[in-house]
């Protein structure tokens, strides 16, 4: 082979041969156990298998399980193992496999049969046996016609092959398994040191109306020690499960009579409303106008916006006269109607509309999970209508002749300014709530609306704003919405898990579909740009990571826990009287005592009225860590609580 140059991170260079040298050979040459932990390679920016030869001069990076790309390849390979074993174990047909952020799953077709939970341990042992056999993952790239012949016995994979638009596609062989897969995968199954089968559930092929499938979910790691560490983290996560916290602290609950819809109890409603008021105050300070829009719309609205073609299975329909109506699953089309209901001028832009309206989405029953996936919710949702050009308005002198347009300014990107401001908004909100976050630019998916040039333009705008923001970000190819690219914001909780919450979306399609024009003095009518944003995924969803995120101390949202607690009859009367004083200050309280049916989550009330406090007209205050703050006069306590709340102090208990 032709001599090539191999450049490694840190500046080291190695010689190689084109079409002969592989990344695995490089890892072996580098030593230090790298060949044992490397899983896949990044070759000139593209991920590939370790055994695939290098073709030319190469910038090479070797990735292990600690990297997101290495972990995804590991779980994708493990999903192939699970699929191969499930086919043999159940006599099933493998439909698809997928790696997720938390593990992987495979979907199999078993006719009318279902996977029983009692079968999972035996399936897990069969997977371990298969992995120990060190089956190689062999990559084959062939034409669609050739692959159709190879996959002719699997109708599900043939259907996936029909969706391939390139002349060739890739399959991998692993033992008896032959699967359509883009890769990259591991070198062999022996690298999978520990695999745990977790659950089985029902799924549908291709969504609603498709064939019934069985989904088996699992997780795998390079070693048994890694699996043990993961299990300990899961035990801790169970203690912090927001569904358990919601029940124990009487915040919210769910009921079978309204699946996927949350019942917020008084304490939960207080936290909910406090979050809404917090975001509402931020909207006001940043020039947003709050609006209220209807819940029911004609399906023609969703056909005009393009949502019906892509989203109709998730839209609830309501029989009505003279036509069926639909519950809105998002606010953007309604805001477009607001923009278009009268002529607009360039002087009104940017027009920033905020909406806390109720939304409904017909999520499949198997996906409903506490507050993280619901059917009825509210978003702190806003849309900004702006132009690519004007930022400020030139002022004409008072005596300027009529009908003479002001001198045009040098155009600056108003859109760029709004995206930058949206990112600053994100940072400000999450700083108050104590969340760290990471950013991802999601680019155009298959089946996108519009032309590629418009998408390129939109993606470049978002990328430039991310560069200006100065925080690290990653690329998520193909994860954009069908109508435009977006910046996804994933927040991190106390267990290190990331949750998709906020998003900033750029939409050049909606203004064209709704003909959202504005009058401008320099070139006639212009077409607006719509930017969509929500910061925390919605106040009905925010308590999920919020409930699992904080270890004391935390931000004061207004204490929903008992304050004060009272142990005896006379003291209870004093506590009740003091509770009215608390409410007068806008501090919600609940009077409790010994034998309280709903005690504080840690068994301790933050403020106590006993015999001594009754005599002195005070309350004894302590933190959630049982740090005694002393006996204080009630007005002083309430004043300090108000100061901490209004100042949005993140470490309120430490500063009390």
Strand 212-221 and strand 262-264: the pairing is unpaired
CATH of the domain at 11: 3.10.20.30
What are 219's two structure tokens? 């997780």
Is the same domain home to 273 and 152? no
Q: How far apart are CA 93 and CA 154, in angstroms?
A: 7
Is the same domain home to 31 and 169? no
Is the same domain home to 294 and 330? yes
Asked if residue 36 belongs to a domain, the reply is: yes
Q: Give 567's pLDDT tier (boundaries 50, 70, 90).
A: very low
pLDDT at 91: 95
pLDDT at 528: 53
Asked if residue 559 belongs to a domain, the reply is: no
Is the same domain home to 467 and 578? no
Is the same domain home to 345 and 483? yes
Whether residue 276 is predicted with pLDDT greater than 60 in this model: the reply is: yes
Whether residue 628 is predicted with pLDDT greater than 90 in this model: the reply is: no
CATH of the domain at 302: 3.30.930.10
Is the same domain home to 462 and 586? no
Whether residue 578 is predicted with pLDDT greater than 70 in this model: the reply is: no
Q: What is the mean pLDDT of residues 44-64?
A: 96
Asked if residue 429 belongs to a domain, the reply is: yes
Q: Give 564's pLDDT tier (boundaries 50, 70, 90).
A: very low
Is the same domain home to 486 and 609? no
Q: How far apart are CA 12 and CA 584, in angstroms?
A: 69
Q: How far apart are CA 438 and CA 432, in angstroms?
A: 16
Is the same domain home to 384 and 508? yes
pLDDT in tens, 164-174: 889 999 999 99
Whether residue 184 is predicted with pLDDT greater than 70 in this model: the reply is: yes
Asked if residue 563 belongs to a domain, the reply is: no
Asked if residue 532 belongs to a domain, the reply is: no
CATH of the domain at 612: 3.40.50.800
Asked if residue 401 belongs to a domain, the reply is: no
Who wins on pLDDT, 557 or 322? 322
Cα-based torsion angle of the residue sequence 446, 451, 457, 461 in order, rounded to the nearest 10 degrees: -50
Is the same domain home to 159 and 21? no
Contact 500, 442 (CB under 8 A): no
pLDDT in tens, 86-120: 999 999 999 999 999 889 999 999 999 999 999 99
Last residue of a domain, one of 16, 37, 63: 63
Last residue of a domain, one of 239, 272, 306: 239
Q: How far is CA 329 from the centre of its chain?
A: 17
Asked if residue 397 belongs to a domain, the reply is: no
Last residue of a domain, one of 63, 83, 106: 63
The residue to which tokens 């050739």 are assigned: 146
Whether residue 571 is predicted with pLDDT greater than 80 in this model: the reply is: no
pLDDT at 404: 43
pLDDT in tens, 191-215: 999 999 999 999 989 866 689 999 9
Is the same domain home to 443 and 376? yes
How many residues are there in the chain? 656
Whether residue 409 is predicted with pLDDT greater than 50 in this model: the reply is: no
List 499's β-bridge partners, or say none: 491
Contact 566, 574 (CB under 8 A): yes
Supply the range of the domain harboring residue 425: 258-389+413-520+544-551
Who wins on pLDDT, 206 or 248? 248
pLDDT at 366: 73
pLDDT at 595: 54
Q: Give 596's pLDDT tier (boundaries 50, 70, 90).
A: low
Asked if residue 577 belongs to a domain, the reply is: yes
Is the same domain home to 274 and 378? yes
CATH of the domain at 164: 3.30.980.10
List 345's β-bridge partners, or say none: 519
Is the same domain home to 201 and 72? yes
pLDDT at 587: 55
Total domains in the fold of the chain: 4
């Amino acid at each position: 082979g032709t001599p090539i140059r191999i450049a490694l991170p840190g500046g080291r260079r190695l010689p190689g041969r084109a079409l002969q040298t592989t990344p695995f050979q490089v890892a072996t040459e580098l030593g230090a156990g790298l060949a044992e932990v490397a899983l896949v390679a990044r070759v000139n920016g593209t991920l590939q298998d370790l055994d695939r030869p290098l073709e030319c001069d190469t910038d090479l990076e070797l990735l292990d399980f600690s990297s997101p790309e290495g972990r995804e390849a590991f779980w994708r390979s493990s999903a192939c193992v699970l699929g191969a074993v499930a086919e043999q174990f159940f006599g099933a047909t493998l439909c698809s496999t997928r790696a997720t952020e938390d593990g992987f799953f495979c979907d199999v077709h078993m006719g009318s049969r279902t996977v029983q939970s009692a079968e999972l341990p035996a399936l897990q042992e069969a997977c371990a046996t298969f992995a120990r056999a060190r089956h190689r993952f062999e990559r084959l790239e062939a034409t669609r016609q050739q692959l159709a012949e190879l996959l002719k016995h699997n109708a599900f994979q043939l259907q996936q092959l029909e969706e391939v638009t390139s002349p060739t596609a890739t399959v991998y062989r692993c033992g008896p398994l032959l699967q359509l897969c883009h890769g990259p995968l591991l070198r062999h199954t022996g690298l999978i040191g520990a695999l745990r089968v977790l659950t089985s559930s029902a799924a549908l092929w291709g969504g609603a109306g498709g064939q019934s499938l069985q989904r088996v979910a699992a997780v795998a790691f390079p070693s048994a020690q890694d699996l043990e560490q993961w299990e300990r983290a899961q035990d801790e996560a169970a203690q912090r499960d927001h569904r358990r916290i919601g029940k124990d602290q009487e915040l919210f609950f769910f009921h079978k009579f309204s699946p996927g819809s949350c019942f917020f109890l008084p304490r939960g409603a207080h936290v909910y409303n406090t979050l809404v008021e917090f975001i509402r105050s931020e909207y006001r300070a940043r020039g947003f106008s709050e609006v209220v829009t209807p819940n029911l719309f004609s399906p023609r609205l969703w056909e005009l916006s393009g949502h019906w073609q892509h989203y109709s299975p998730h839209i609830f329909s309501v029989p009505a006269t003279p036509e069926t109506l639909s519950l809105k699953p998002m606010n953007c089309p309604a805001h477009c109607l607001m923009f278009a209901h009268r002529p607009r001028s360039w002087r009104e832009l940017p027009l920033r509309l905020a909406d806390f309206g109720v939304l409904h989405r017909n999520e499949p029953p198997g996906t409903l999970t506490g507050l993280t996936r619901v059917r009825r919710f509210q978003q702190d949702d806003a849309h900004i209508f702006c132009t690519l050009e004007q930022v400020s308005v030139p002022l004409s002198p008072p005596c300027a002749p009529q009908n003479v347009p002001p001198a045009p300014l040098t155009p600056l990107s108003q859109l760029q300014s709004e995206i930058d401001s949206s990112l600053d908004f994100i940072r400000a909100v999450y700083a108050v709530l104590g969340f760290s976050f990471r950013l991802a630019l999601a680019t155009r998916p298959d089946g996108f609306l519009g032309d590629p040039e418009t998408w390129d333009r939109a993606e470049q705008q978002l990328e430039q704003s991310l560069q200006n923001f100065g925080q690290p970000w990653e690329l998520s190819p193909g994860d954009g919405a069908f109508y435009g690219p977006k910046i996804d914001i994933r927040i991190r909780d106390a267990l290190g898990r990331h949750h998709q919450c906020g998003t900033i979306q750029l939409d050049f399609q909606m203004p064209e579909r709704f003909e959202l024009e504005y009058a401008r003095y320099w070139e006639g009518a212009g077409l607006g740009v719509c930017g969509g944003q929500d910061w925390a995924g919605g106040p009905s969803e925010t308590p999920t990571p919020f409930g699992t995120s904080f270890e004391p101390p935390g931000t004061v949202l207004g204490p929903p826990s008992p304050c004060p607690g009272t142990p005896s009859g006379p003291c209870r009367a004093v506590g009740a009287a003091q509770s009215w004083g608390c409410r007068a200050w806008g501090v919600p309280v609940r009077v409790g005592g010994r034998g309280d049916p709903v005690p504080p989550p840690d068994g301790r009330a933050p403020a106590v009225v006993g015999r001594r406090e009754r005599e002195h007209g005070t309350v004894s205050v302590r933190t959630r860590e049982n740090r005694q703050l002393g006996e204080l006069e009630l007005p002083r306590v309430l004043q300090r609580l108000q100061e901490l709340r209004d100042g949005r102090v993140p470490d309120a208990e430490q500063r009390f």
